[in-house]
Each structure stands twice: as C-alpha cells, then as structure tokens.
Structure 1
Amino acid sequence: MLWNLLPALGGIGLFLIGMLLMTDGLKALAGARLRDILGRFTSTPFTGAVTGAVTTAAIQSSSATTVAAVGFVASGLLTFPQALGIIFGANIGTTMTGWLVALLGFKLDLGQVMLPVVFVGALLALSGRKAVAGFGLALAGFSLIFIGIEQLKSGLDAFRGVVTPADFPPDTLLGRLKLVLIGVVITMVTQSSSAGVATALAALSAGAVNFPQAAALVIGMDVGTTFTAVLATLGGGTMARRTGFAHVIYNVMTGAMAFFLLGPFTAVFVSGSEAGNSLTALVAFHSFFNAIGVALILPFAKPFARFVEALVPDKGAELTRPLDPLVLGMPEIAVDAAKAAVEQIVRAEVAHLRSCIGASQPSGPDYGRDSIETAVSEARSYLDKIELPSRSDAEISSIKGMYHVLDHLDRLLYRCSQDDRISELPKDRRLKRLASVMIASTDGYLEVDNPLQCESSLNRVRRFLRRQRKLRRDLLISDAATDSLPDEVVWARLDALRWLHRVSYHLWRIRWHMNALEGVPSGRKGGEVTDGMA
C-alpha cells in the first residue's frame, strides 16, 4: 500500500515545483507591470477585486498580488479598503488553477507530451536574457504541472476500488466538518491550495471520494490558505498584519457560507452527473463560493477595513510606518514604500527646524530630534536591505536619490542642534529678517502645486543668503576692527550667518532630490552644488 502511495506523493511534489517555477517565471515577465496594473486600475474596492482576480489568474500568485497591495497602502498609493478589494479578488484568481487542472490535466493525457516541453523551457531559462529566461521558467513550470497531475492520477488509480468514499467521514454535517478540517491540514502541509485542489480532483476522478466529500475538502483548503497568509505576514509591519487578519476573517466567513451552500449546489448541479462532469462541477463550486463571498463583502469593504484596523492598531514609529519588511521581496514596491517614509521624515524635519527657530507649524507637529534621528537611521537601513536586479535603472536611481536626501537630513538635523547659533538670530535685526526669509521658503515645503517652482524659490533663497553671508561678513569684521561691536558678538553673528546659509542649502538640495524622485524635471543642470561647503 505504501509503495503505491509514493507515485502520488511524487506527483504532488512535481505539481508544487511546477507551480513555483511557473509563478516565478510569470512574475519575472510581469516585472514592474504588476505594480502599474494594480495601481492604475484600482480606484474602488470593486475595481480592486476585478484587478486582483485578473492579475492573480495571470501570474498564478496570490501572494505576489497581496504583497503588492500591502506595499501600495504602505506607500500611500491606495487606501486599505481599496487594497482589501485586491486581496478579495485574488481569492477568485487562485481558482483559475483548478480550471486548468480539471479541463486539461484530467480530460487530456498531457504528461508524456509535456516532457520535451520541459526540456525546451529549461534551455530558454538558461539563455541569460531576462524576458526569455522568465518565459522558459513559466513554460517548464506549466509542463511540470501536467506531468505531476499524470503521476498523481496514476498513483491514485492503484487505490481505485480499494479506497472508497466509505473510508472517509460520511456525508453528514459532522462528517463534512471533519473533511473541512482535513482540507485545512492538507493546505497547511503543502502550503498550496492549488495542490490540494488538484489532489481532491484526482481523488474524485479515482472514485476515492464522492462530490460532497471532495467539495468539503476544497472548502477546508480555501480556509487553510489563511495559514499561509499568516505565515507570510509574520515579521511584517502593521499593514501586513492587517492583511493577514483580513484574509483569515474573510476566508473563514466565506468557508462557512460555502459549507451551507454545498448541499443545495450538489442537489442542483451534481446529482446524476458523470465523473468528468463532477470534476468540472468541483472547480465551478470553488469559483462560485469565492465569487459569492467577494460580491457579499465588497459593499461593506470600508466598515470591514475599520473593523480590521481596530483589531490591529498602528504600532511602531509613525515616521517609518511605511517601511514594511514584507514588501522587500518586491523591490519596486519596496522603493515606493521607502519614498513614502522619506517624504514623511522630510516633512517632520522641516517642522522641527521651524520649531527650533520659533516659527509656527503649518507642516505638522514637532516629533523631536531623537525620533527623527531614529527614523533617518531606520530608513537608511531599509534601503540597504532592498536587493535590486542589475537592470533596475529607475529603482537604482531612486535609491541613490533617497540616500542623498537622508544625508542632507542628517546634516540638517545637526544644524538644528546648534542652539548657540540659533539663539543669536533674534538678537540682530538683520539676522532676524534673513531668518524670516528662509523660514518663509519652507511654508508648504511638500504640499506644493508646482514642485519645480518650489525648488527654484529655495535655490533663489540659498543664493541670496550666500551673497548676504559674504556682504555681512565684511561689515561685521569691520565692526570688530573698529570696536563697534565686541569680538565675541561679531563671531557669534558670523556663525549665525553661516548657519542660515547652510540650512538653506540643505533645504534646497532636499527639495531638488525629492523632485527627482517624483520625476519632476529640474530647472538646474549638473550634479551636487557644494557652495564651498564640506
């Protein structure tokens, strides 16, 4: 008996490897288009559900779709209810694998035919060209799926007549509950509901289980995918944990609904059907209850999102909340999340600068030096962890720009700690006026309608303060030479002048790099301008 079971286990293994290869290949082919498609076509929970279903069906990876949704919320591109639509839709997209298996894997004997296709796919995967290699992986994985199904069918055929529906829990309420739990365990072990559904289809085809028993197993497998979702969100940020909780709650509710729909569905669609029709009916039931679940939950996406947010409150530093470790596996999404965090840190530091000089705070509360310093360090550490493919020129440029911004933020934060120079500003009428010019340039520093005009304005202020620094330096030195002012006052005001100029320089360069990150063409050509400063 054990020896007869080994081919079936091998078939499941080949199926899983095929799914992994096909998913990796399709994700490589999709590349940044996955992010663009999900972001562009998701404006409401409904459009998110449609986009999530289509995208997941195309790339055969609900985890990739979910991680992308997490990254979009973390970076502020989507709201949580919109992201929930994508996550719900991904559940429908995963049922496409069942249709592929039922319509091709069991109705056509493709195992032998696909063997040379695996060879072709392997050759393409070794080509070294990214697009061709991705296609080769997808092709080889697609072929292995059918080879695995063929092996699984032949393995379970040995049990035909030996293992019958009578060997499983009976088709009663308690029996169905036991089968649901078995389905949950199968998915927890294989970490793939698709492999579980393929196994249920093979068992149904071999006559080992009847339709209600197979359907109960599929319900359990659908619920069991939440275990995978929870594992995937471990170690993630707040958004990742919320996604995991939302997935669990939604799938359990959908599973409960499917459990009560099983009886009517069997009576209407399956009674008296042939074995081949039972296979189609099983995947149809899988798609049916997932589609019904999405249709019922979408009108309540916003209240459901608020419920999940109450269950999983925000934790960690507010400034670095977008830096979700879960999205590090998708570099393009991770770069977007880092941009959102850097923007928040910039806003916080500008507010801190205004607070240090005693100006009002239109840009928000003062987070304090320690919090901002920690946030800068965490953002830099997060950027260090992003691993980019060699050809990701746009992302590499963005990461370089963010490193520049963080460097200027570090130096600006140091300037904010120079209390002796800051305290000198209100003591001199001219210095006070120059300080007001600089502070005025920070009004609406990030909330600007014309970023290029903002950068140009900051650059004009920087050049103006550079001229004033030279002019006032000569006048102050003359005052010291003629004893018009005490030497210590002259040196203190000279330091304050230098402080104003350097701060204006950092503000300009931060805005310059932020504009570059946002794709705004700069009005100035060339690289970093040092103004003679180290």
Structure 2
Amino acid sequence: MDYGLYDILMLVGALGVFLYGMTVMSDALLLLAGDKLRKILASMTSNRVFGIFTGFLITSIIQSSSATTLMVVSFSNAGLLTLVESIGVIMGANIGTTVTAWIIAILGFKVSMSAIALPLVGLGFGLTFLKNKTYKNLGNFIVGFALLFIGLEFLKDTMPDINSNPELLSVLSKYTDLGYLSIFIFLCIGTILTVVVQSSSATMALTLIMTAQGWIPFHLAAAMVLGENIGTTITANLAAIIGNYKAKQTARAHLVFNSIGVIWMLLLFYPFLRFIDWLSVQIGSESPYMSAAAIPVAISLYHTTFNFANSFLLVWFVKPIAKLVEYLVPEVALKTYEIDQPKYLTPEVLKYPETAISALRNESIYLFENPIFEIIAHALSISRTDIMSDEKTKNIIMKSNIQFKADPGKLYLTKVKSIYGKIIEYGTKAQSELKLTQSQHQEISQLKIANRKMVEMIKLVEDLTKNINLYMVSDNTYIKDEYDRLRQKVVKVLRIIYRMRTEKNKEKYHDKLILLKQKAKQNKHLGSVKIDKLIRKDSITADMASSYFNDFDNVNDIVKNLIDVADLLFALRDPLFLNGK
C-alpha cells in the first residue's frame, strides 16, 4: 500500500483545516446571533414542542450541536432550565445538527466550492479589518465557511483511493462482511472518532468521504452515524464534570436519549435502511446500494430521518427519561460550612450573561430567604416558623417572650459576609468582562443594591437587638407595648414578603407592601407624639424615650429596606418602590 507517513500527516492536516473552519464559523455565528439565541433559550417554557424547535433553531444557526448542548448544560447549572426543558432542547439540537450533513453532502459533493473558497477567504478577511463588530464577525463567519470547504476538499484529495490501493480493500473486507458484528464495529469506530476529534460534523465529513471513495458500503456508514450520535454526547458530559448535579443530569440525559435512539434503531436497522433506499429514489437520487456517489445524500437523509423519528418517538417519554436520569444522578445536598459559602456562584456562571444574572439572583434570594430572614427574626426574638404561619401577628408577639440572644454581628461574619462579598465580586466581574445589554447591566446593579440593603438591615437590627431584649421583658408595660408594636410591624412585613414569594396572587401582597412603605414614610412623627405623651405622664423615663426614638427610626428603615429588597429580588419593579425613599 503506497500510503506513508507524509500522506497521513496530510490527512490529519486536512482534518485540522476542516475543524478550524468549523470552529471559526461556529464562534462567529455565536457572536453574531448568540445574544438573541441565549435570550430565547433563557425564556424557555416547559412546552416540549417549543423546546425541540428552540434546540433545532440554535443548532441550525450556529452549526454546532456541541455548542448548543454546552449552552444547555451551563443554563441548567445556573438553574435557568429544568431537566425536562433541557431534554427538549437536546432533542431539537440532534435534529439541527443534521443540517451540517446536508451542507457537506450537497455543497461538498454535488457542488465544487474550491473555485470560490479562496475568494471567500479574501472577502471575509477584508471584513475583519472593519471597526464594526457585526462586520468583523460576519467576516470571520465567511472565512470559517470557506476554510471548512477547503479542508473538505483536502480531505477528499488526501483520503487514500481504494482503486489505487487494492490492499486496503482486502483489509476492510475482513470487517465489512460480519453481519451485525460489522455494524457494531463501525458503530464503535464512529463513537471513538467523534470523541477524539470532538466534532460529530468532522466525523460525518469523514464518513461521507469514505463512502464516496468506496471504502465502506451504505449500511456501515449508517452504523458510523449511530456511533457519532453517541460520541457527540461526550463533550457535554466532560463539561458537566465541574458543574453541579443539574448540569450532570442534563449531560447524562443527552447520553441516555441518544443511546435509546441507537438501541431501537439497531433493532430496526435493515428495514429502516430499505426505507431510506426507497426514499432516496423517490426524491430523485440513485439507490445508495447501487451507486457510491449516491451514498452521501442517502446518509444525510438517514441522519435526518433517524433524528426526527427518535425525537418524535421519545418526546412522549420526556418525564420518564427525566426520572431515570434523576435516579442515575441523584440530587446532591449542599455542603454545610462553619462559615457559609456561596451556593450558586461558580466560575462557570461567568461564561454567559444569562447564567451570571441567574446565579447572582439565586444567590441573593438564598441570602435573603435564609441568613437575612433568620437574623432579623431572631433579633426580634421571633421564630421564623411563627412568621410563616397563619397565626395573627399580635398573638405571635404576645406569646414570644423568650429572648433568642441573637448576635447579628457574629451571624453576619459567619452567614453573610462571605456570600455578600462573592455576590459583589461576581456582579462586578460580569459587568466588566461580559457583553451585557443595558437592561442586563441594570439588573446586576439592582441585585448589588439589594444586597447592600440587606447588609444595612443587619447593622440596623444589631442596634435594635439590645433594647428589644431589654424592654420585651420590662416591668414597664408602656415601653414594653411600644417595642412590641415595633416588632409586630417588622413581622407583618416579613410575613407579606413570604406570602408574595410563595403564593400565586403576588400582586395582592405587592400592593400591601406599597401601602406599608408609604405608611413608614408618613408615620414618622406619630411615634414621637405618642412618646411625648408618655413622658409628660411620667409613664416612661427619658432613657427609655431616647432609646425608643432611635429604634423607631431604625424599624422604619428596616421596613423600607425589606420592601426595596423584595421588589428588587422578585422583579416587581413598581415606580413607587424605587422612587419612594
């Protein structure tokens, strides 16, 4: 066989040009349309058909199922997509990746692109010198597109010709006539090739060239395509290794979905190929069993039909697949630390604006619902369970005569400081390093404001705690009653915010918070009038009055901050909230 080391290096180089062209083209398309595509993906609903369409659309546009699945894994990791939604998008991505095969089969085999490939490189390269980013990305796309077909042309030229190398045919014949064992062997070859080159499109191109050169017959090329469907899932599974359990579930769902498709296809392998043979003739092509030149189109048809059929069949079983994946990759409980650490902020979330914002929002909500809620409730010597109950706030205050001995300063250091610091750090990095729209930039700024207000509240309750512990058990019923009213005011706000977060009629509770904020502004003088009367009657001492005046202002500020934080975190941006300082 006259095929030496130089020829092998030429083949590897041709594959490298093809892969580089594919990468440049895909990256440029992501920059051209990535923002809009990610917004579509981030606004996903549980509608399965829409999920499949979204996956198909994104993969068809960016010409990379790996890029789509990596995006899905990242979004799942950040909590933007549920497992069920992710499976739908992956189904669509599998269909979308078949577009690449058609482009290669038609433009690479039916049309000669070599004549215009170099002029396209010249045109694209010229566009990259322009200042406009859109034209730069368009130029890179054109260069990548041209390089892809230059690489494909090199692959066809450097692939050993079976007619000139009859020894190759005798070697291959040992493995092509073993029935289902041959199918399994070439399925494994397709899987391994895809894992090695990390691109099912590149493996598809190699498969199409091998069929056109007469290396392998139609049915073994189809087996390689099945292997490529399994191999392409490895990219997402590798990326998910450093992700959380949600990312691992999504990547595993991709593997499970594609593996189920391969299993049922193997059971119907030969009847399905006969159907593709008939379909090829019906659309005006030759039979792939009769002509090697007809195999590239038949393989593209097989690839598309199989992925359509697999998605249509399994779309009805998305929830059982999700349950299987949840069983294979169970939910992992969050680790507990002596000093609380961020739960959602990881370096991976800074890859996309959408994942960064989602992680920042989830972390901020976690901080508000857990440490902040706990610190404020315990500073008031109130149980969080009582606040979340349906018991009247007046009764809760009357029965809560046990001092919690909460230390807001210590709780801040152990439960808040580390998380707060990371939220500010990640928010600042996202604003400086990511390409954000104005609304995304503003959203991160609002989250940072919400966190600053939470920290302010800790300082306010720290000043409040000492006097609450003193006067809630005081023998002076007048000052005790006044402090009970202050506690009741904060409890009422916390309860309404809890209801707004957990119940359907959010607007109802939103309106209540607006009224409470307005009252907090208007009623500042009422407390001083009442205390003045108590002083004149010698019902309370001057020290009691002085403490109460400070604490009354602190409580009003806590109430306003609580309402602002609730609005900023739960996206009910009423102008009355934001402007009503």
2:551 equivalent among 492, 496, 520? 496
2:55 equivalent among 46, 52, 75? 52
In structure 2, the residue matched to 1:38 is: 41
The separation in 1 between residues aligned to 2:49 and 2:185, in whole angstroms, is 34
Q: Which moved more, 1:278-287 or 1:434-443?
A: 434-443
The separation in 1 between residues aligned to 2:527 and 2:162, in whole angstroms, is 90
- Larger Cα-atom Rg: 2
- Contact 1:438/1:461 (<8 A) preserved: no
The separation in 2 between residues aligned to 1:50 and 1:61, in whole angstroms, is 15
Trace 1:28-177 onto structure 2 (pairs within 5 A).
Answer: 28-39=31-42, 42-70=45-73, 73=76, 78-158=81-161, 160-162=163-165, 164-168=168-172, 169-172=175-178, 173-177=180-184
1:505 equivalent among 560, 567, 581? 560
Q: Which moved more, 1:120-129 or 1:66-75?
A: 66-75
In structure 1, the residue matched to 2:495 is: 443
1:361 equivalent among 384, 387, 390? 387
Trace 1:252-267 onto structure 2 (pairs within 5 A).
Answer: 252-267=259-274
Instruction: Report the Cα offset of residue 350 of structure 1.
Output: 5.8
In structure 1, the residue matched to 2:466 is: 420
Q: Which moved more, 1:287-296 or 1:188-197?
A: 287-296
Q: Which moved more, 1:181-190 or 1:155-164?
A: 155-164
In structure 2, the CA distance between the partners of 1:148 and 1:422, relative to structure 1 (3 Å rule), is farther
- Contact 1:238/1:321 (<8 A) preserved: no
Query: Which amino acid counterpart does residue 575 of structure 2 have in structure 1?
Result: S
Instruction: Report the Cα offset of residue 146 of structure 1.
Output: 0.8
- Contact 2:18/2:148 (<8 A) preserved: yes
In structure 1, the residue matched to 2:301 is: 284
> Does structure 1 residue 522 correspond to structure 2 residue 575?
yes
In structure 2, the residue matched to 1:429 is: 481
In structure 1, the residue matched to 2:520 is: 462
The separation in 1 between residues aligned to 2:370 and 2:445, in whole angstroms, is 21
- Contact 2:53/2:92 (<8 A) preserved: yes
The separation in 2 between residues aligned to 1:100 and 1:8, in whole angstroms, is 21
In structure 2, the CA distance between the partners of 1:76 and 1:140, relative to structure 1 (3 Å rule), is same
Q: Which moved more, 1:369-378 or 1:88-97?
A: 369-378
In structure 2, the CA distance between the partners of 1:363 and 1:485, relative to structure 1 (3 Å rule), is closer
Q: Which moved more, 1:276-285 or 1:456-465?
A: 456-465
In structure 2, the residue matched to 1:301 is: 318
Instruction: Report the Cα offset of residue 101 of structure 1.
Output: 0.3
Q: Secondary structure at the match of 1:181?
A: helix
1:250 equivalent among 241, 257, 261? 257
- Contact 2:364/2:569 (<8 A) preserved: no
Query: Which amino acid counterpart does residue 47 of structure 1 have in structure 2?
Result: F
- Contact 2:42/2:354 (<8 A) preserved: no
In structure 1, the residue matched to 2:477 is: none
Instruction: Report the Cα offset of residue 415 of structure 1.
Output: 4.2
In structure 2, the residue matched to 1:238 is: 245
Instruction: Report the Cα offset of residue 117 of structure 1.
Output: 0.8
The separation in 1 between residues aligned to 2:72 and 2:252, in whole angstroms, is 14
Query: Cα RMSD between the aligned structures?
Result: 3.3
- Contact 1:19/1:145 (<8 A) preserved: yes
Query: Which amino acid counterpart does residue 423 of structure 2 have in structure 1?
Result: A
The separation in 2 between residues aligned to 1:55 and 1:371, in whole angstroms, is 41
The separation in 2 between residues aligned to 1:425 and 1:311, in whole angstroms, is 55
Instruction: Report the Cα offset of residue 132 of structure 1.
Output: 1.9
Q: Secondary structure at the match of 1:444?
A: helix
Instruction: Report the Cα offset of residue 458 of structure 1.
Output: 4.5
- Contact 2:496/2:512 (<8 A) preserved: no
- Contact 1:230/1:245 (<8 A) preserved: yes
Deviation string 1:147-206 (CA, Å, 9 cap, x unpaired) is 111111111155554264543322422232222222222112111111111111111111
In structure 1, the residue matched to 2:235 is: 228
The separation in 1 between residues aligned to 2:578 and 2:44, in whole angstroms, is 35
2:454 equivalent among 398, 409, 434? 409
In structure 1, the residue matched to 2:191 is: 184
The separation in 1 between residues aligned to 2:512 and 2:74, in whole angstroms, is 29
Instruction: Report the Cα offset of residue 25 of structure 1.
Output: 1.4
In structure 2, the CA distance between the partners of 1:260 and 1:93, relative to structure 1 (3 Å rule), is same
Trace 1:305-454 onto structure 2 (pairs within 5 A).
Answer: 305-315=322-332, 317=334, 322-323=344-345, 325-349=347-371, 351-352=373-374, 353-357=376-380, 358=382, 360-362=386-388, 370-371=414-415, 374-386=418-430, 388-389=433-434, 392-416=437-461, 419-424=465-470, 426=472, 427=474, 428-445=480-497, 446-447=500-501, 448-449=506-507, 453=511
Instruction: Report the Cα offset of residue 471 of structure 1.
Output: 5.3
In structure 2, the CA distance between the partners of 1:273 and 1:355, relative to structure 1 (3 Å rule), is farther
How many residue pairs are counted as aligned between the two chains?
520
Q: Which moved more, 1:122-131 or 1:422-431?
A: 422-431
- Contact 1:459/1:508 (<8 A) preserved: yes
- Contact 2:226/2:262 (<8 A) preserved: yes
The separation in 1 between residues aligned to 2:27 and 2:389, in whole angstroms, is 43
The two structures have a TM-score, normalised by structure 1, of: 0.86
Instruction: Report the Cα offset of residue 382 of structure 1.
Output: 3.8
Structure 2 unaligned spans of 5+: 278-286, 336-340, 391-410, 475-479
Query: Which amino acid counterpart does residue 50 of structure 2 have in structure 1?
Result: T
Instruction: Report the Cα offset of residue 485 of structure 1.
Output: 4.7
The separation in 2 between residues aligned to 1:245 and 1:21, in whole angstroms, is 28
In structure 2, the residue matched to 1:214 is: 221
The separation in 1 between residues aligned to 2:560 and 2:577, in whole angstroms, is 14
Deviation string 1:284-325 (CA, Å, 9 cap, x unpaired) is 222222222222221111122122223323335499655465
Instruction: Report the Cα offset of residue 245 of structure 1.
Output: 1.3
Deviation string 1:386-409 (CA, Å, 9 cap, x unpaired) is 364456322221111111111222
Q: Which moved more, 1:182-191 or 1:71-80?
A: 71-80
In structure 2, the CA distance between the partners of 1:464 and 1:31, relative to structure 1 (3 Å rule), is same
Deviation string 1:300-354 (CA, Å, 9 cap, x unpaired) is 1112212222332333549965546544322233213422332343333564233
Query: Which amino acid counterpart does residue 383 of structure 1 have in structure 2?
Result: G
In structure 2, the residue matched to 1:532 is: none
